[in-house]
């Protein structure tokens, strides 16, 4: 990493942070409430996701404002700056990948960069690039607005609209969620529907294409005891339309990825089924501990989450996560977390493709692999700090390390603060 690179990274970080900071006074002017007892809050966070040769800088600004006891509004703006290593240095874990991902990791710089750019950018979680092989930086902007209303304590309705845009991707997602409390609020039922309406226009695409996804979800939150709560959820996603991301080429008929710098007879667009149905099942249990294990569990909570997923592309995945929260003092909370994820590959994934193959993919996301994520986070709650009516409620920072069995590693650093007014 040379000086220019460092400076560019620094600039991207300052831009991300500056934009969200500039949003604060505007939001406060719009929403400042004279009622000192209101629990309105604003959140400012910055993230760096640093991969072997690309970094993504993220700024988030969110505001929650109660209009009345029954109605609140939520606004969020998030920006991602994708900042690849301009020297195109070697990918950190080249050569360690399994057979299926060699094209991604051993291919030429352009292809490899495409896969790295796909790291964290991408509306609806899809890859992104600025187009040309030399300039792969990109910016993603996301705007989210929503309202929550409680109808006479009988049913609560959340309505959200999310819009995100970047150079080759646009996504609009309306979401509606109904929540109902039962049995003296021992049980909460959640029912939701959202629709992702995406427009994909990747670097290797002649024209933009559409993709729509209907998402249905149902959940039950159940109090088990005065110190334990359980959540069970199911979600169904039905996608139709253009599934590739338009940022990857697939070498066919014996050609290696190294020669795939542009679309040709032997380097073709990805071709994927035009429908995908996905199911996910989730169980989560949180348990509060007043004391235990020689102080280790004093004022702490442990949360376990398990998720099973399958789809009609034959991908099956399992996810397990454990989080441990602990009050170190009255004001400082520590979080340790570990997450394991494993998936099988899609039914059409092969080591190499021939032009006669109906489906072709060079996406590492569709291969068999597993991932690990471990992190530490500290939150410090402040008391009466700030100029009333705006108080600094908490500051927080985290570090996480992410690793994939197919040879991608990332450091995740986050800093944030929460304001109350």
Partner 1 sequence: MRKRVFILILLLGIAAVSGCARVKPWEREYLADPIMQLDYNKEEKAVREHFLGTREGSAGSFGVSGGGCGCN
Partner 2 sequence: MRAFKVFLAIAAAFILLVQSRTASIAAGLIGGTAHDFTLEDISGKTHSLGDYKGRVVFIDFWASWCPPCKKEFPEINAMLKAYEGADVVGIAVNIDKKRSHAEDFLRGVGALSKNLVVLLDPESAAIRHYNALTMPTSYILDKSGVVRFVHFGYNESDAQKWKQEIDRLLKE
Q: Is 371 helix (H, G, I), strand (E, B) or coil?
A: strand
Interaction of residue 409 with partner 1, rule CB under 8 A: no
Interaction of residue 189 with partner 2, rule CB under 8 A: yes
Q: Stretches 87-95, 179-187, 246-254, 372-380: which one binds partner 2 (CB under 8 A)?
A: 179-187
Q: Stretches 85-93, 178-186, 242-250, 358-366: which one binds partner 2 (CB under 8 A)?
A: 178-186
Q: Report how far residue 61's alpha carbon sits from residue 41's, in angstroms, rounded to the nearest whole number.
A: 11
How many residues contact partner 1, by CB under 8 A? Answer: 91
Q: Give first-to-last CA distance, the chain, whole Å.
A: 42
Q: Report how far residue 181's alpha carbon sits from residue 192's, in angstroms, rounded to the nearest whole number.
A: 15
Query: Residue 53 — φ and ψ, nearest 5°?
Result: -140, 30
- For residue 385, the minimal CB distance to partner 2 (Å) is 13
With a CB cutoff of 8 Å and minimum separation 6, the contacts of 227 are: 287, 288, 289, 290
C-beta separation of 227 from 218 below 8 A? no
Interaction of residue 34 with partner 2, rule CB under 8 A: no
Interaction of residue 260 with partner 1, rule CB under 8 A: no
Touching partner 1, residues 223-242 (CB under 8 A): 223-227, 229-235, 237
Touching partner 2, residues 45-84 (CB under 8 A): 68-70
Tokens of 349: 């994934």
* Binding at 68: pick from partner 2, partner 1, none (beta carbon under 5-8 Å per type): partner 2
**Other Cβ atoms closer than 10 A to 385:** 11
The DSSP result for 28-39, as a single string, is: HHHH--S-TT--
Interaction of residue 221 with partner 1, rule CB under 8 A: yes
- For residue 401, the minimal CB distance to partner 2 (Å) is 34
Interaction of residue 184 with partner 2, rule CB under 8 A: yes
- For residue 6, the minimal CB distance to partner 2 (Å) is 44
C-beta separation of 45 from 17 below 8 A? no
Touching partner 1, residues 21-50 (CB under 8 A): 43, 45, 47, 49
With a CB cutoff of 8 Å and minimum separation 6, the contacts of 213 are: 124, 195, 196, 198, 237, 238, 239, 240
List contacts with partner 2 (CB under 8 A): 36-39, 68-70, 153-155, 178, 180, 182-185, 189, 191, 193, 214, 216, 218, 236, 238, 330, 383
């Amino acid at each position: 990493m040379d000086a220019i690179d460092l400076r560019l990274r620094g600039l991207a970080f300052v831009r991300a942070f500056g934009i969200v900071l500039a949003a604060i006074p505007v939001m406060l002017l719009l929403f400042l409430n004279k009622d000192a007892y209101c629990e309105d809050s604003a959140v400012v966070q910055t993230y760096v996701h640093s991969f072997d040769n690309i970094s993504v800088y993220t700024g988030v600004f969110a505001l929650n404002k109660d209009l009345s006891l029954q109605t609140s509004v939520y606004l969020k703006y998030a920006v991602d700056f994708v900042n690849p290593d301009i020297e195109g240095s070697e990918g950190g874990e080249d050569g360690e990948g399994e057979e299926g991902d060699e094209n991604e990791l051993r291919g030429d710089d352009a292809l490899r960069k495409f896969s790295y750019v796909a790291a964290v950018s991408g509306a609806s979680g899809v890859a992104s690039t600025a187009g040309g092989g030399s300039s792969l930086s990109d910016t993603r902007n996301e705007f989210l607005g929503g309202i929550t209303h409680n109808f006479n304590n009988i049913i609560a309705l959340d309505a959200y609209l999310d819009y995100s845009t970047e150079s080759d991707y646009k996504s609009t997602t309306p979401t509606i969620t109904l929540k109902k409390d039962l049995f003296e609020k021992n049980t909460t039922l959640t029912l939701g529907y959202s629709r992702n309406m995406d427009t994909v226009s990747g670097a290797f695409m002649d024209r933009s294409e559409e993709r729509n996804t209907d998402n249905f979800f149902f959940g039950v939150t159940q109090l088990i005891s005065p110190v334990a709560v359980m959540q069970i959820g199911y979600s169904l996603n039905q996608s139709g339309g253009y599934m590739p991301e338009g940022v990857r080429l697939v070498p066919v008929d014996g050609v290696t990825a190294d020669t795939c710098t542009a679309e040709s007879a032997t380097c073709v667009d990805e071709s994927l089924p035009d429908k995908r149905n996905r199911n996910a099942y989730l169980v989560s249990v949180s348990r509060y501990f007043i004391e235990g294990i020689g102080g280790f569990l004093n004022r702490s909570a442990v949360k376990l989450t398990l998720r099973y997923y399958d789809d009609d592309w034959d991908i099956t995945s399992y996810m397990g996560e454990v989080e441990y929260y602990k009050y170190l003092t009255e004001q400082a909370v520590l979080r340790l977390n570990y997450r394991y994820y494993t998936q099988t590959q899609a039914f059409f994934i092969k080591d190499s493709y021939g032009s006669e193959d109906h489906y072709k993919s060079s996406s590492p996301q569709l291969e068999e692999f597993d991932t690990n994520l471990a992190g530490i986070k500290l939150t410090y709650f402040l008391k009466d700090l700030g100029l009333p009516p705006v108080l600094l409620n908490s500051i927080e920072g985290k570090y996480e390390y992410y690793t994939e069995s197919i040879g991608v590693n990332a450091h995740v650093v986050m800093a944030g603060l929460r304001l109350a007014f």
